[in-house]
């Protein structure tokens, strides 16, 4: 397939979330009371509705819309116009001394997932609104005055069926006193695009649920990733996105996705977008329905850049922050230009439950068709123990994380699929999103994610439910290897560190300098986070079977050293491939380039250091049969 934009279609990690979920569902859902509708409680549903609204959907037209189109996310469904005032059509089905119950039925010929969009939505105190299907096996509400917003727009979670009933419970007995909210449209998501009457199990069989073993190290990051059901005009699409942290670390509900997810959306469209949190199976296998209750509606566009000559990002602010009972996490980010060596993407392929895809080798800098030159990361996914996670339509906008658990890009497109797992995908680079798409605040991430201009090169995530402390990591001797897994953790949270030796070294042991007898000899080190910050050191030792060349057959010049913004390297050697890696004191690559000597065995180039922190580095130069190392000081 030519473009991903339109592809068709455990340890105790889950315990805390599901406790919080079942606590929260009684209070929130789509910020509703979660009580049963009166019509179902007291058997008030009747088949005879004089004011029933019958709608028709052109399934052939919808099918033709699903054909691949460039620069569009995955089609989910369409809007069917209703444009009726509820009070003009509703009938009273029950009354009491203090309350009356009003109902209106809307039907379509075919089973689908159905939702509603209201305008002029202003509920009086003490009134309640419910939505449910004719079978009564799916219902949402009650919605109350707490769902009112200044713009008066409100969209509801979709439920399965061919008929939905709108039920209003009020203290008045006259339609003239009912609120004047308007049913603008029916959200119609055709049933054949989903499995049975649910939205899950719609992606390819190779995909990996986020709570499989591959997700063990990514339990924090997954909590920020959302499924997006978005409207652009009269059409609804599937995308993915993530909550993102800012330097104030105050839980401002910023959400990062891709610009092509609703690139033509209006301000009114953004106000009815739907964001589904924790839409996942609690275990590795598909079992039962994933929760759809934790959904927020409404957002405002803050900044964006298109695919054309840009890096395809969009930053939204949600109308309200997800409740703490939903256990949200605001993902951190890395705005350095260094190449990520490994990591994952967490996403909702084809609108399915949350999945995870894994890469184990370095991303490569690339250009997506029509996009900014070298503005994208190219990734090829790796097979893992539970499958071979890829991406699909609906994954667009999802974050790709580096080995430190930080966002390093957002998904634009590609060709990977369950039938073509070795084909690449492309993610707009986060560090290019930062300030490279224009000079306006509406074209950059920096004014929103770093409003005071503090200039951090990376920022770890924010957990509103936890007091966190930092896990610092180091290596000994310097430049001998690297450690992944450091960062902020909550008290009692599992910490998993991994050590990777550099060429010429092997792993020896872990040490916690503030503890006696703390040496551990496995590369994989797990412990429970205490209530204070921790420093963990990985010890490496040099291999003894390294042979030193007897004769120096190269001419190397590196200047200036110390360097400021540029480093000039000239090398005369045998013709062939040459790679340069600049490594910091923690063993992390800060800059990596691969080049070729010319036919005379000569190489000369300047390297831009503007995105590299000041400090002491090791420059590793890999030739065909030899590795050269030099210490470099960078002091901008």
Catalytically active residues are: 260, 312, 396
The structure tokens 């929260």 sit at: 24
Q: Which are the contacts of 406, defined by CB distance < 8 A and separation ≥ 6?
A: 331, 332, 333, 334, 458, 459, 460
Rg (CA), the chain: 27
**How far apart, in whole angstroms, are the C-alpha atoms of residue 472 and residue 481?**
15
Q: Residue 257 in contact with residue 312, Cβ under 8 Å?
A: no
Q: How far is CA 363 from each of CA 347, 376, 428, 431, rounded to the nearest angstrom?
A: 18, 10, 12, 14
DSSP string, 174-213: -GGGS---EEEEEEEEEGGGSBTTBSSS-S-TT--BTTSG
CA angle 267, 270, 275 (to 5 degrees): 170
Give 222: exposed, middle or buried? Use CB within 10 Å, 0-12, 13-18, 19+: buried
Give 548: exposed, middle or buried? Use CB within 10 Å, 0-12, 13-18, 19+: exposed
| 3-class DSSP assignment, residue 52 | coil
Cα 291 from chain centroid (whole Å): 18
> What string of H, E and C letters represents the secondary structure of 293-359?
CCEEECEEEEEEECCCCCCCEEEEEECCCCCHHHCCCEECEECCCCCCCCEEEEECHHHCCCEEEEE
Q: Are strands 53-54 and 100-119 parallel, antiparallel or unpaired?
A: parallel
DSSP 260: T
| 3-class DSSP assignment, residue 434 | helix
DSSP string, 540-596: EEE-S-PPPPSS---EEEEE-SSBSSEEEEEEE-SSSEEEEEEE-TTS-EEEEEEEE
Q: For residue 516, give both structure tokens.
A: 């006696």
Q: Residue 304 forms beta bridges with which residues?
A: 314
Q: For residue 425, give both structure tokens.
A: 């995908």
- Find the length of the chain: 636
The structure tokens 């800060």 sit at: 590
**How far apart, in whole angstroms, are the C-alpha atoms of residue 345 and residue 524?**
22
DSSP string, 369-390: TTS-TT-EEEE----BTTB---
Q: Which residues of 491-518 are buried (b: 16+ CB within 10 A; e: fewer)?
A: eebebebbbbbbeebebbbbbbeeeeee
């Amino acid at each position: 397939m030519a473009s991903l934009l339109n592809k068709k279609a455990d340890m105790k990690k889950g315990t805390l979330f599901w406790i919080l979920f079942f606590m929260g569902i009684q209070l929130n859902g789509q910020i509703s009371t979660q009580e049963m509708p009166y019509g179902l409680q007291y058997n008030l549903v009747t088949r005879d509705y004089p004011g029933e609204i019958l709608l028709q959907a052109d399934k052939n037209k919808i099918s033709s819309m699903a054909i691949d189109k460039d620069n569009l996310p995955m089609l989910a469904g369409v809007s069917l116009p209703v444009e009726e005032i509820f009070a003009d059509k509703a009938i009273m089905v029950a009354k009491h001394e203090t309350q009356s119950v009003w109902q209106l039925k809307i039907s379509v010929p075919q089973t689908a997932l159905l939702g509603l969009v209201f305008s002029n939505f202003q509920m009086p105190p003490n009134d309640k609104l419910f939505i449910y299907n004719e079978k009564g096996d799916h219902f949402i509400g009650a919605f109350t005055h707490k769902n009112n917003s200044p713009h008066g727009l409100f969209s509801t979670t979709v439920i399965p069926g061919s008929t939905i009933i709108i039920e209003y419970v009020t203290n008045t007995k006259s339609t003239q006193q009912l609120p004047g909210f308007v049913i603008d449209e029916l959200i119609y998501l055709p049933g054949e695009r989903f499995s049975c009457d649910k939205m899950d199990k719609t992606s390819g069989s190779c995909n990996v649920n986020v709570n499989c073993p591959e997700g063990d190290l990514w339990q924090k990051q997954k909590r920020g990733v959302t499924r997006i059901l978005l409207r652009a005009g009269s059409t609804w699409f599937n995308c993915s996105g993530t909550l993102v942290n800012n330097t104030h670390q105050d839980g401002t509900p910023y959400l990062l996705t891709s610009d092509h997810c609703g690139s033509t959306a209006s301000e009114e469209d953004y106000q009815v977008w739907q964001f589904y949190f924790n839409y996942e199976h609690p275990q590795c296998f598909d079992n039962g329905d994933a929760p759809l209750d934790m959904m927020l509606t409404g957002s405002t566009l803050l900044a964006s850049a298109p695919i054309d000559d840009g890096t395809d990002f969009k930053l939204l602010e949600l109308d309200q922050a997800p409740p703490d009972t939903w256990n949200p996490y605001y993902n951190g980010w890395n705005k350095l230009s260094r190449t990520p060596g490994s990591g994952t993407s967490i996403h909702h392929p084809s609108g399915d439950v949350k999945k995870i895809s894994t890469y184990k080798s370095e991303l490569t800098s690339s250009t997506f068709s029509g996009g900014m030159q070298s503005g994208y990361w190219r990734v090829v996914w790796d097979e893992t123990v539970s499958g071979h996670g890829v991406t699909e339509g609906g994954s667009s906008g999802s974050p790709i994380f580096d080995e430190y658990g930080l966002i390093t890009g957002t998904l634009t497109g590609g060709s990977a699929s369950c039938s073509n797992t070795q084909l690449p995908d492309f993610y707009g680079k986060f560090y290019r999103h930062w300030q490279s798409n224009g000079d306006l605040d509406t074209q950059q991430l920096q004014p929103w994610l770093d409003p005071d201009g503090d200039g951090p090169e990376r920022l770890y995530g924010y957990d509103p439910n936890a007091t966190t402390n930092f896990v610092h990591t180091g290596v000994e001797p310097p430049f001998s290897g690297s450690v992944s897994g450091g960062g902020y953790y909550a008290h009692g949270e599992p910490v998993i560190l991994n050590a990777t030796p550099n060429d010429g070294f092997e792993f020896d042991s872990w040490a916690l300098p503030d503890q006696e007898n703390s040496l551990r000899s496995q590369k994989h080190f797990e412990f429970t986070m205490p209530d204070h910050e921790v420093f963990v050191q990985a010890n490496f030792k040099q291999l003894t079977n390294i042979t030193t060349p007897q004769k120096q057959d190269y001419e190397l010049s590196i200047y200036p050293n110390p360097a400021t913004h540029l480093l000039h390297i000239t090398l005369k050697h045998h013709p062939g491939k040459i790679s340069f890696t600049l490594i910091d004191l923690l063993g992390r690559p800060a800059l990596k380039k691969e080049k070729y000597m010319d036919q005379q065995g000569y190489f000369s180039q300047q390297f831009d250091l503007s995105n590299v922190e000041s400090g002491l580095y090791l420059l590793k130069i890999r030739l065909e049969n030899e590795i050269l190392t030099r210490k470099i000081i960078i002091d901008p």
